[in-house]
Amino acid sequence: MIRKRSITLHGHRTSFSVEDDFLAELREIATRRGISFAALIAEVDENRPSGANLSSALRLYVLAQLKQSKVQEATEVPTSQS
């Protein structure tokens, strides 16, 4: 289900709408990186292309992170246990 969320970024209130699964993944990414959820949203907001809306930027960020994780898993060399 898509839900609208409100957040304060750079002292201004803004909102974004993402599906619950995307929201959960954003929270997980923030936790893994050791940053707050708000800091992650602010980072994505600061780096999104001009004209892109925040909701789309957040979805694309999650997709990029999942793809990167998949590539890293595929290229990791298994360590042999002796």
pTM: 0.85
Cα angle 79, 70, 74 (rounded to 5 degrees) comes to 35
Q: Does the pLDDT value for residue 31 go beyond 80? A: yes
What pLDDT is stored for residue 24 in this prediction?
97
Would you state the structure tokens that stand for residue 75, as one six-digit string? 């290229």
Mean pLDDT value of segment 51-70: 95
Would you state the structure tokens that stand for residue 40, as one six-digit string? 């992650």
Q: What is the DSSP letter of 7?
A: E
What pLDDT is stored for residue 81 in this prediction?
65
Would you state the structure tokens that stand for residue 8, as one six-digit string? 């304060």
pLDDT digits (tens, 9 = 90+) for 37-58: 999 999 999 999 999 999 999 9
The model's confidence at residue 27, banded by pLDDT at 50, 70 and 90, is: very high
